[in-house]
């Protein structure tokens, strides 16, 4: 019901300017047992060196969510959008029929982030991009929806998938719960801090694949920052 994916077991690629860990098969990392989780196709744990980044490259038919853990990332795309997203904040890009974008760390420090790809509910559509700050204090002790494909989540960044990206900060000793609906999939990673999920320990940057039809209790062993995606 809970599959643990320890940080040390993840795919790894060190390009000098980019030190990346892959929770699922990506680029030169291929594991037939880790092709995705439901509609979640990619969860990369990236460390991007100062004054470096990803030059312009294309995407289509993918929802790409970036959760910045430390530092900042500066986005540029072929639609004319530019923006800087700082630690704790989120940007989303719906690639739709096709878009080119670049992501640069223009800071003097290393930027760390989670890049998450979710399959859209339908192909096509005009590409779009957006970003929003999410103060960590506002998600203290509870999950807050950061990005969502559901109309009722009007405060979240919109994505074109039957999915939600959630964030929470919990202090040592505190707990939060999450229910995964029947037929759905959830994937959880503590960005910071040690936690337990139904009593099983997870370190920072370990992954937890949660199956549908269960409610889990997440308890912080030390102050923790959690990112969770609940999808088809």
Average pLDDT value for residue range 24-50: 97
| Whether the predicted pLDDT of 136 surpasses 90 | no
pLDDT of residue 188: 98
Q: pLDDT band for position 42 (50/70/90)?
A: very high
Q: What is the mean pLDDT of residues 13-32?
A: 97
The 10s digit of each residue's pLDDT in 188-217 is 999 999 999 999 999 999 999 999 999 999
Quote the distance between the C-alpha of residue 108 and its chain's center.
23
Share the mean pLDDT of the chain: 97
Average pLDDT on 144-163 reads: 97
User: Which pLDDT score is estimated for 160?
Assistant: 98
Mean pLDDT calculated for residue range 121-150? 96
pLDDT at 191: 97
The pLDDT of residue 1: 85
The 3-class SS string of the chain reads CEEEECHHHCEEEECCCEEEEECCCECCECCCCCCCECCEEEEEEEEECCCEEEEEEEECCCEEEEEEEECEEEEEECCCCEEEEECCCEEEEECCCCEEEEEEECCCCCEEEEEEEECCCCCCCCCEEEEECCCHHHHECCCEEEEECCCCCCCCEECCCCCEEEEEEECCCCEEEEEECCCCEEEEEEEECCEEECCEEECCCCEEEEECCEEEEEEECCCEEEEEEEEC
Q: What is the rounded average pLDDT of the residues 151-179?
A: 97
103: left (phi over 0), alpha (psi -120 to 50) or beta: beta
Q: Mean pLDDT over residues 61-65, rounded?
A: 98
């Amino acid at each position: 019901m809970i599959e643990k994916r320890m940080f040390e077991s993840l795919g790894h690629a060190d390009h000098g300017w980019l030190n990346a860990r892959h929770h699922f098969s990506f680029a030169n990392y291929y594991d037939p047992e880790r092709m995705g989780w439901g509609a979640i196709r990619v969860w990369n744990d990236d460390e991007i060196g100062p004054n470096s980044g990803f030059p312009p490259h294309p995407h289509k038919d993918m929802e790409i969510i970036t959760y910045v853990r430390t530092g900042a990332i500066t986005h540029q795309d072929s639609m004319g959008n530019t923006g800087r997203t700082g630690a704790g904040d989120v940007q989303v890009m719906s690639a739709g029929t096709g878009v080119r974008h670049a992501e640069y760390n223009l800071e003097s420090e290393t930027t760390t982030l989670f890049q998450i790809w979710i399959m859209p509910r339908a192909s096509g559509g005009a590409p779009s991009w957006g970003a929003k700050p999410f103060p960590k204090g506002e998600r203290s002790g509870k999950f807050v929806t950061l990005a969502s494909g559901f109309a009722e989540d009007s405060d979240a960044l919109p994505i074109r998938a039957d999915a939600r990206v959630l964030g929470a900060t919990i202090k040592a000793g505190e707990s939060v719960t999450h229910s995964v609906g029947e037929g759905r999939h959830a994937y959880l990673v503590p960005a910071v801090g040690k936690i337990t999920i139904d009593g099983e320990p997870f370190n920072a940057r370990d992954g937890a694949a949660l199956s549908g039809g269960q409610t889990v209790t997440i308890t912080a062993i030390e102050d923790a920052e959690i990112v969770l995606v609940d999808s088809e």
